[in-house]
Structure 1
Amino acid sequence: MASLRMPRRALPSLKSVRTPSSISTSTFTSTHLRPSVPSQSRSQPPQIRPYHSTLHPRLPDHTYNNSQTAILTASLPHIPTHGFSAESLALGARDAGFLDVSVQLFPRAEFDLILFWLASRRGLLRAKVEEGALFRRVADQAGRDVSSLDVEEKCRILVMERLKMNEDVKGQWSGALAQMSLLGNITLSLSELHALSNDILSLAGDSAVDASWYSRRFGLSAIYASAEMVMTRDPTPDLSETETFVNRRFEDKLALNQKIEGLSQCVSFVGNTAVGVGRSWGLKI
């Protein structure tokens, strides 16, 4: 009896097997076989991410390109009349040869004009000191030599010189202070104030690096910020009332420093005396 044989069906080869169109080859391999590890990750060590904290974000940048600098520079002469406003920016754009729509180059609008004013005045103050005429002029008026001016006196001179740079925009400065006090602008405003106090102390010859480095800058920043408020209400043409206020604040600051130094010396004396008495009683101190 003849044996029955079933016809053998040809098995498909591995090459003819196709993955579904919705699943790519790499997905299929990584899901169903084993995870594919890039060859570079085997040879290179993992990169260490630098420290980052959302509690201390990086300050926003306020540097400007050539077109922005040209517009801002041309806007400065319009500030005494039109203030730190979009109109001053538009007029500056026209004077620099740009269209009025170019003011859209400034995402912070009027605040960019304020920042540029502050930074440009700091640069002008530094240039006057580097020329050597500022301290020499003040010393000649007082009949003294430049070398006899100490750091505190030079700081007074620099503070008043910087305040006098605001004379042309004194009527518009209250609006600028209001802009700087807005929540979104406080960070950059304080950064510019700290930069100014640091420049003044450096230009005055203060090179000490000790525990009072920050306190000196904070104290000078407080004096300058309060003097700006007085300047906006000063009716005198030469800012004589503001100068009197600045001199009084520096004298108060000097007296406070002397009190703090005297208190620290007193505490040190009392401490040393207590240690000496304790040792005389046989205490191991």
Structure 2
Amino acid sequence: MTDTPQGLDAIKQELLDAALIHVPFDGWSEAAFRAAIADSGVDAAMARAACPRGAVDLAVAYHLRGDDEMVRRLTETDLSAMRFRDRVALAVRYRLDAAEDKEAVRRGATLFALPPYAAEGSRLVWGTADRIWTALGDSSDDVNWYTKRASLAAVYGSTVLYWLGDESPDHAETAAFLDRRIGDVMQLEKVKAQVNKAWVLKPLMLGPNWLARQIRPPHRQPDRRLPGSVRPGLPERT
């Protein structure tokens, strides 16, 4: 059935393939969405069911497709001999390579800079950082889960903007920029480690360190359902 989640996702991917021809000229706009419907032959009602927000949903799907391709390439690459910072850099480069069309990315950056969609854009960048850390085997279960993703999201976002304007062969200047940004983050982590080891500062860090250990990532949050609450698929607690 085409109205199942799987069927609607297949329609969305078909529309996305058709829209990418028009996005460089029309952006992620209603005009590009209508052109995608016409080119793909998808029924207009089904297209609206798959993409209630039109081209905005296609822009989101385009970003998520790039994330999927990045993870696929990471899982097929032997990373065992690489330093961890090099693994992170490789993941970001894979993500940029997955974008393929700079103009589609540029148009997406313009779309997600608009106030109605800024939160969506931030969520997508955070999601990319999360998928990188997850693919690289991050096992953080405290506040570091959040700080790692926040730092990488900032690195990824700034690198994308640099990449959009980079015309150097094989994007060599982007690679150098990325390495510098990761170096900045690594230096910050080094300073944090030195502070935690400094015996003079240890008493001052007891409170912040205790608080940091109480923070859990979403998948490690305790079950705090109250009596009478219902979670899909679970019986009501009485």
TM-score by length of 2: 0.71
2:172 corresponds to: 240
1:123 paired residue number:
68
Distance (whole Å) between structure 1 residues aligned to residue 24 and residue 107 of structure 2: 12
Q: How many corresponding residue pairs?
A: 196
Choose from 200, 203, 215 the match for 1:269: 200
Q: How much has 1:254 moved relative to structure 2?
A: 0.6
Change (3 A) 1:212 1:103: same
Equivalent in the alignment of 1:201: 133
CA distance in 2, matches of 1:68, 1:81: 20
Comparing 152-161 and 230-239, the one that deviates more: 230-239
1:101/1:271 CA distance change after superposition, 3 Å: closer
Give the whole-Å Cα distance in 2 for the aligned partners of 1:147 and 1:69: 34
Larger relative contact order, structure 1 or 2 (CA cutoff 8 Å, min sep 6): 2
Aligned to 1:157, what secondary structure does the other structure show?
helix
Deviation of 1:77 (Å): 4.4
1:142-165 residue CA offsets vs partner (Å, 9 max, x unmatched): xxxx42224322111000111122
SS at match of 1:84: coil
- Map 1:84-233 onto structure 2 (within 5 A): 84-98=28-42, 104-105=48-49, 106-130=51-75, 132=76, 135-136=77-78, 146-168=79-101, 170-233=102-165
Question: What is the aligned-residue RMSD (CA, Å)?
Answer: 2.6
For the 8 Å contact 1:84–1:114, the answer to whether it is kept is: yes
1:224 match: secondary structure: helix
Q: Which residue of 1 aligns with 2:181?
A: 249
Aligned equivalents of 1:102, 1:211: Cα separation in 2 = 43
TM-score (normalizing by structure 1): 0.61
What is the one-letter code of the residue matched to 2:15?
Answer: I
Query: 2:38, 2:64 → 1: CA distance?
Result: 23
Contact 1:93–1:102 under 8 Å retained in 2: no
Distance verdict in 2 for CA 1:271–1:201, change over 3 Å: closer
Deviations 1:32-62 (A, max 9, x none): xxxxxxxxxxxxxxxxxxxxxxxxxxxxxxx
Q: Give the direction of change, closer, same or farther, for the CA distance of 1:237–1:174 in structure 2 (3 Å limit).
A: same
In structure 2, C-alpha distance between the alignment counterparts of 1:178 and 1:80, rounded to whole Å: 12
Does structure 1 conserve the Cα–Cα contact (< 8 Å) formed by 2:28 and 2:107? yes
Higher alpha-carbon Rg = 1
Give the percent of matched residue pairs that are identical in Structure 1 and Structure 2.
Answer: 22
Q: Which has the higher helix share?
A: 2
Deviation at 1:230, TM superposition (A): 0.6
Q: Cα gap change, 1:99/1:183 in structure 2, threshold over 3 Å: closer, same or farther?
A: same
Deviation at 1:69, TM superposition (A): 3.6
Shift of 1:227: 0.6
1:119 shift after superposition:
0.9
- Counterpart CA distance in 2 for 1:79 and 1:175 is 7
